[in-house]
Structure 1
């Protein structure tokens, strides 16, 4: 049993905004420290950024308008604060784990891979707010701005839009960063969120590392770490950061990572 949401779901819009801000941080700084939280709904948006990067609010506003605006006029409050001085000292002389965390990477099942494929196929034709569940032979499709009858033709055995045609988006529902971790991680588990953070954060790098190792070994991977750790899973933390960096680069950046998560 698994659920996926597409990149236009309100929660994913928030993840994508946060990811795009992190992408900008890496363009402005070789080794940025950043954590971003985004909340959007009903004509209002709120962005809080903790960072060592000197951003211009106008640049953040342009990212927000590009991803969250569209035809909707949304007022956005942007707050930028310096990173806590005690946290910043953790990374002064070497790359060390940036936070406490627990992580469990799990191999993907055929069912999870199938739903990810279905979600992407539907999104290609209907790039609007949508969410999908696969539970054995039961497929549930909730896709906004699509005729239920058309989707039934393509997926005749699915339950499509149980309440009928709908419009979706941030004027219907609120969104927040890291609220769709199940959709992003399948059976993998984390104590924190994947999105809106730089690579020094264990919530990003160790989650990616554990997930990738689980796909290679075909077995669960369970890890825990403390802020300041220099080794995790018997490897220097700097190696784990580089593995995560290569993965993020391979898929096109943090904004692209935020669209679908790990699968």
Structure 2
């Protein structure tokens, strides 16, 4: 299908990547190791990252735990990483990466005592594990208050991955990417402009059969699920073929898909990755809480669009600033300055307050490492709950 002229259209695009993508492999390994350590010591301080390439995996980071003497970090990291790789299907030479024979190097050491001192404070206070800025966002484009483009991009790969795992997606392999462009010319009638999928496949792939399946069983399936148009541009494996994929085709690195993890570029990002970090790291916990605030504000009809920024300084238990932008959609009778006051009155943005309210020490993080950390209806996430809506509605001017 020929790409439409788009000069007169207000277009916005987001992408997603599948669990078998090299960067997402690293995110899953980082969060898998985090989960394994927190299962032994829920108060452990963890910062873990991974790098993967052809038959080589490097795991590095810092860990502090009072139970460290009882934890063989190297053995735990290797065991966790191998299990994740094998579950993904990277367990044979034919696919280009074999978890059973690849080289794994673990370089994890003790966390800096200076950082530890900044985090663990007297009177049960918790200081931020680093400085940084975090953003949360919510809008009315979908029922889960997420931007439509990123939701559809995730949905394409969720569908494709499910079909592949069930053996129904013939020729498909584990490395996939999707990209969705939305025509926003009419804000009240969003349309799909383009769907793009790049899907790794076996060498014997029948191109026409493969593309027909993707178009009808994945792209059209998702568009119909959201009751959207079917007359969109379709791009499938634009290079012609995609046989060499995974860590053989591209290196992977923890935290290199931070826009995929959040709002698909619809909102700003502070730059800090999530995966591999315990919740004292505000890159993670602050972003989760900012989403929680923004979602409840929009659901309470205080604004139609809400972007919340939180900023922290290392060692300080409370944010040094709170910022709100509603793109001019704040409810009648209110201002964005009012919203900041409302946030400060109703949300405990201290590090300890965030961890306790969102129960982050009890959260399993590896499932979040694919298909985004927000808007997840398949996971019971505390930061997606709308338990502040009724309280916030009291601020509406009658």
TM-score by length of 1: 0.91
After the TM superposition, which parts of structure 1 deviate over 4 Å for at least 4 consecutive aligned residues? Answer: none
| Cα distance in 2 between the residues matched to 1:62 and 1:161 | 34
Q: 226, 229, 233: which one pairs with 2:313?
A: 226
- Helix, strand or coil for the counterpart of 2:105? strand
Correspondence list, 1:15-54, <5 A: 15-53=27-65, 54=68
Q: 215, 229, 241: which one pairs with 1:152?
A: 215
Q: 238, 241, 254: which one pairs with 1:162?
A: 238
Aligned residue pairs: how many?
260
- Helix, strand or coil for the counterpart of 1:78? strand
Q: Deviations over 1:79-107 (max 9, x none)?
A: 12101011111233321211101112122
- Unaligned ranges ≥5, structure 1: none
Correspondence list, 1:1-263, <5 A: 1-53=13-65, 54=68, 55-56=71-72, 57-68=74-85, 69-71=90-92, 72=98, 73-92=101-120, 93=122, 94-107=125-138, 108-126=146-164, 128-136=174-182, 137-145=193-201, 147-154=210-217, 155=219, 157-167=233-243, 168-186=245-263, 187-188=266-267, 189-218=269-298, 219-232=306-319, 234=344, 235=348, 236-246=350-360, 249=363, 253-263=364-374
- Helix, strand or coil for the counterpart of 2:373? coil
Counterpart contact for 1:141–1:161, Cα < 8 Å: yes
Counterpart contact for 1:148–1:164, Cα < 8 Å: no
| Cα distance in 1 between the residues matched to 2:357 and 2:55 | 39
Counterpart contact for 1:248–1:257, Cα < 8 Å: no
Counterpart contact for 1:209–1:243, Cα < 8 Å: no
| Cα distance in 1 between the residues matched to 2:63 and 2:103 | 23
> Which segment drifts farther, 207-216 or 2-11?
207-216
Q: Deviations over 1:178-229 (max 9, x none)?
A: 0001111123412311111101000110011112222222311011110122
| Cα distance in 2 between the residues matched to 1:64 and 1:159 | 34
- Unaligned ranges ≥5, structure 2: 1-12, 93-97, 139-145, 166-173, 183-192, 203-209, 221-232, 299-305, 323-343, 375-398
TM-score by length of 2: 0.62
* Structure showing greater relative contact order (alpha-carbon pairs closer than 8 Å, 6 or more residues apart): 1
Q: Which has the larger radius of gyration?
A: 2
- Helix, strand or coil for the counterpart of 2:276? coil
